[in-house]
């Protein structure tokens, strides 16, 4: 007996997918950069306003002969040349706004000179980038990351399987795991994708099972030769239903050069056209799923029309079998039906099947090959359109349908044939990658379907829903873009924007890896850890859903607590595990800076870390990360003797006395020391050991504060521009799935102005991103 294995069909059909995936990976590693063109600039503010400041304060360290940090600033003679540079001035802007440069031991520019430099970069330089006619984003085709894969399978199949949890970890680029240039692919990915596709559809589609039924023999000891021009028919007493039929066929005395014929077999109305195998003088068992209709009582086996020659005719010298040696066949050369056994009827009530099955297999065939093929075509077309997130061409559907035909022709059930065909869809690069096809050498608007995918993966980290598909099909998505954004943000699926954007921007994902010293902090456990992260997520989600001011991320008079976290904070009146909004009696809490999640992940296991906390504020909130410390910096004395001698603030003074460290610590330390009233797990305290804590400090420009409450107020009133720009930059990077180019800063500034004009309501950021050319256009490819 021959057995048939169908896994090869999935792997065989998707061989092209493996090649496509690996070739796409090569493309992903080398983003295609656009050409740049520049309009002439008439007013040379650079030469009048910027160049003298550079000569006075910067040329000692940043010339072509001495380019510290890889920056040479003496390369530009005028504004036309300066604005052609695409990266340098943005690095200069970060250094100036962070007050990292010039170093503290060097002459410092006046506030007027500093403001003049910053103003030129923000206005003249950024504006010049935006005026470039040929600018466009590098085109980087990117794969779905693990979270997006899980969410897409959930929304496509209706099953939350988390199959991507077993995939290799996603790399990070520009702070996020959805950046195309970092999402490489390996052979391990390809293998995992194939396994996951099979497992997903095995869970989604229920197959008929006849194993529990005893076999019923329809043909006894007698065999039936197949006449060339008529069928073999005999009666049966089977009840209506589905059956797994096994019949054996013997090919006797036919030359091996003669191709195998096609047969028609079935029960009454339901018949299949099948191909006999080329096996000489050996019994081959065929297995087929067939239906018995009400009133049917005939078994039917016949040669298909025009197949008589393949079944019976052979030249004598080509006959290799001794046909007279087997009396069962009476010396007859040809095909003989040797036996037929059935199992069933198999119950398969559609209403009792899971929703995933009914959602995918919405078409139930009646009888015959054509009915099954028509249903399979409809199912495959709808599923693949949703999986590929765009309309399919007829030839694309037919290629997938060919896999179904292979399974069907070998006797598989309708459900199994569709399952195998759809497995190739989930293993296709069209599903696994966010592909914008038909890449052209011109910058073009995205199609409505491409825009729907960009939007849904930005806000939901998943595929578009039916409402987005409908808008795209009717060519109305661009016209109704804001309405759709509002609808999507109000949908619970926008929790993915909170988890994936805020979770990475605020670095909440790191919270799972922190391990405070259990001897010093015995109350810290996984329940408290989870509550810490939940507070920040609920807080960000509230601002997003209610369209509140982004400045409330810095400070507010409310937060979200459950009993566990409220007890940790020393706040009364909160009971139960459920989180709820809680009004705050003072400003010790409120805003993400003083939430336990951020305070804990920016601490050491045994103590607070003003350096980590200050660095986190500079980088995540103000967008001016300090450079890495020099390797020869001495370590802080962590001994008990040192701790007994003074506060952590006093012990860290040594770092600020070293000129190599002073410029960075001058910015980080005041921010970090302002949070010293919060211990390493975010609890309030008044003393560091036996010593009272001094949380006061002074920022650049003489801006003083007494404690964390005043620092939050100071940041919310004097650093709004920097904070807004940092938030927009991070969200724009996340929304585009790529790092920003110099010309993107014009878009960023437009969004910031729109945000400021509407009381900093957060949805203005999202509206600005999705309405920007960067989001709505494919990008020029050269």
Give CA–CA dist 157/155, Å, rounded: 6
**pLDDT at position 89, please?**
82
- At 246 the three-state DSSP class reads strand
pLDDT digits (tens, 9 = 90+) for 14-43: 554 544 454 444 344 333 333 333 344 445
Neighbours of 400 (CB within 10 A): 22
Integer Cα distance of 635 and 529 in angstroms: 29
Q: Among 222-236, 447-461, 694-708, which is the least confidently predicted range?
A: 222-236
Q: What is the mean pLDDT of the chain?
A: 85
pLDDT of residue 228: 77
Domains of the chain: 45-130 (no CATH), 216-347 (2.60.120.260), 498-718 (no CATH)
Residue 255's nearest CA partner among 297, 212, 204, 313 is 313
Span 694-738, pLDDT tens digits: 999 988 777 899 999 999 999 999 999 999 999 999 999 999 999
Assess whether pLDDT exceeds 90 at residue 766. yes
Is residue 515 pLDDT above 80, yes or no?
yes
- Find all residues with CB under 8 Å of 196, minimum gap 6, and list them: 149, 153, 163, 164, 166, 167, 426
Burial of 684 (0-12, 13-18, 19+ CB in 10 A): middle
Let me know if 241 is exposed, middle or buried by CB neighbors in 10 A (0-12, 13-18, 19+). middle
Q: Which residue has the tokens 């493996």?
A: 18
C-alpha–C-alpha distance, residues 683 and 532, integer Å? 12
Q: How far apart are CA 579 and CA 530, in angstroms?
A: 12
pLDDT in tens, 71-88: 888 888 788 878 877 678
Question: Which pLDDT band holds residue 608 (cuts at 50, 70, 90)?
Answer: very high
pLDDT at 659: 63
Return the pLDDT at 314.
39
Question: What pLDDT does residue 279 have?
Answer: 55
Mean pLDDT for 48-56 is: 84
pLDDT at 108: 83
The rounded distance, in Å, linking the Cα atoms of 60 and 71 is 12
Q: What share of the chain is helix, strand, coil (3-state, %, to 5)?
A: 45, 10, 40
pTM of the model: 0.87
Lowest mean pLDDT of 63-72, 353-362, 486-495, 569-578, name the range.
Answer: 63-72
Q: Say yes or no to pLDDT of 317 above 50.
A: no
Residue 310: band (very low, low, confident or very high) from pLDDT cuts 50, 70, 90:
low
Beta pairing partners, 705 = 697
- Average pLDDT, stretch 239-243? 93
pLDDT of residue 166: 96
Give the pLDDT confidence score for residue 11 in this predicted structure: 47
Which of 325-329, 389-393, 611-615 has the lowest average pLDDT?
A: 325-329
Identify which has the larger pLDDT, 768 or 229.
768
Distance of alpha carbon 101 from alpha carbon 53, whole angstroms? 13
pLDDT value at 260 more than 60? yes
Q: How does pLDDT run across 275-298, given as a tens digit for each residue?
A: 776 555 567 788 899 999 999 999
Spatial contact of 140 and 95, defined as CB atoms under 8 Å apart: no
465-501, pLDDT tens digit by residue? Answer: 999 999 999 999 999 999 999 999 999 999 999 999 9
Q: What is the pLDDT of residue 139?
A: 61
| Residue 149 binned pLDDT confidence (cut-offs 50, 70, 90) | very high
Does the structure show a pLDDT above 60 at 144?
yes
């Amino acid at each position: 007996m021959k057995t048939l294995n169908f896994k090869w069909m999935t792997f065989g059909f998707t061989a092209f997918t493996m090649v496509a995936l690996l070739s796409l990976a090569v493309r992903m590693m080398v983003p295609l950069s656009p050409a740049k063109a520049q309009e002439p600039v008439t007013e040379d503010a650079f030469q009048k306003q910027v160049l003298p400041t550079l000569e006075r304060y910067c040329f000692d360290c940043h010339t072509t002969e001495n380019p510290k940090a890889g920056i040479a600033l003496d390369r530009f003679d005028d504004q036309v040349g300066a604005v052609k540079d695409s990266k340098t001035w943005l690095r200069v802007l970060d250094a100036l706004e962070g007050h990292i440069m010039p170093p503290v031991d060097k002459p410092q520019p006046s506030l007027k000179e500093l403001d003049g430099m910053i103003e030129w970069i923000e206005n003249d330089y950024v504006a010049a980038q935006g005026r470039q006619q040929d600018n466009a984003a590098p085109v980087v085709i990117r794969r779905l990351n693990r979270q997006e894969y899980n969410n897409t399978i959930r929304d496509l199949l209706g099953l939350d399987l988390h199959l991507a949890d077993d995939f290799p970890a996603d790399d990070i680029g520009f702070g996020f795991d959805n950046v195309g240039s970092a999402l490489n692919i390996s052979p391990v990915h390809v293998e995992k994708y194939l396994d996951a596709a099979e497992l997903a559809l095995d869970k989604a589609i229920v197959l008929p099972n006849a194993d529990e039924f005893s076999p019923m023999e329809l043909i006894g000891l007698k065999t039936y030769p197949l006449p060339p021009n008529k069928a073999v028919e005999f009666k049966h007493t089977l009840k209506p239903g589905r059956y797994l039929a096994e019949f054996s066929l013997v090919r006797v005395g036919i030359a091996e050069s003669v191709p195998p014929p096609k047969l028609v077999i079935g029960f009454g109305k339901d018949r299949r056209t099948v191909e006999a195998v080329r096996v000489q003088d050996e019994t081959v068992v065929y297995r087929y799923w067939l239906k018995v209709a009400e009133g049917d009582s005939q078994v039917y086996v016949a040669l298909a029309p025009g197949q008589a020659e393949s079944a019976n005719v052979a030249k004598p010298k080509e006959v290799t079998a001794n046909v007279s040696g087997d009396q069962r066949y009476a010396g007859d050369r040809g095909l003989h039906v040797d036996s037929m056994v059935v199992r069933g009827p198999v119950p398969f009530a559609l209403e009792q099947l899971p929703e995933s099955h009914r959602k995918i297999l919405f078409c139930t065939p009646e009888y015959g090959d054509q009915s099954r093929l028509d249903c399979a075509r409809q199912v495959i077309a709808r599923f693949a359109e949703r999986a590929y997130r765009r309309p399919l061409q007829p030839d694309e559907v037919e290629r997938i349908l060919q896999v179904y035909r292979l399974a069907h022709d070998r006797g598989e059930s309708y459900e199994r044939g569709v399952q195998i065909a759809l497995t190739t869809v989930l293993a296709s690069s069209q599903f696994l990658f966010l592909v914008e096809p038909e890449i052209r050498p011109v910058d073009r608007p995205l199609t409505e379907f491409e825009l729907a995918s960009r939007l849904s993966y930005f806000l939901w980290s998943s595929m578009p829903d039916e409402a987005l598909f409908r808008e795209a099909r009717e060519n109305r998505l661009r016209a109704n873009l804001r309405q759709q954004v509002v609808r999507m943000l109000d949908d619970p699926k926008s929790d993915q924007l909170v988890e994936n954007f805020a979770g990475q921007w605020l670095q909440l994902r790191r919270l799972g890896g922190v391990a405070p010293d259990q001897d010093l902090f015995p109350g810290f456990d996984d329940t408290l850890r989870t509550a810490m992260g939940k507070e920040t997520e609920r807080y960000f989600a509230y601002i997003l859903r209610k369209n509140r001011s982004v400045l409330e991320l810095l400070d507010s008079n409310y937060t979200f607590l459950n009993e566990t976290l409220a007890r940790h904070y020393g706040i009364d009146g909160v009971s139960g595990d459920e989180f709820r909004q809680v009004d705050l009696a003072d400003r010790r809490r409120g805003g993400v800076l003083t939430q336990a999640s951020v305070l804990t992940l920016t601490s050491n296991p045994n103590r607070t870390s003003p350096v980590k906390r200050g660095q986190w504020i500079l980088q995540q909130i103000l967008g001016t990360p300090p450079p890495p410390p020099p390797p020869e910096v001495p370590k802080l004395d962590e001994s008990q003797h040192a701790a007994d001698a003074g506060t952590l603030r006093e012990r860290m003074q040594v770092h600020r006395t070293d000129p190599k460290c002073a410029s960075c610590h001058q910015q980080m330390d005041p921010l970090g020391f302002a949070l010293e009233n919060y211990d390493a797990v975010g609890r309030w305290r008044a003393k560091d050991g036996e010593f009272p804590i001094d949380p006061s400090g002074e920022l650049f420009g003489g801006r003083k504060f007494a404690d964390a409450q005043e620092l939050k107020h100071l940041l919310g009133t004097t650093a709004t521009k920097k904070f807004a720009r940092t938030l927009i930059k991070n969200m724009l990077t996340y929304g585009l799935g790529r790092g920003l180019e110099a010309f993107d800063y014009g878009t960023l500034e437009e969004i910031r102005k729109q945000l400021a004009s509407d009381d900093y309501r957060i949805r203005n950021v999202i509206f600005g991103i999705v309405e920007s050319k960067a989001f709505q256009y494919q990008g020029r490819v050269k």
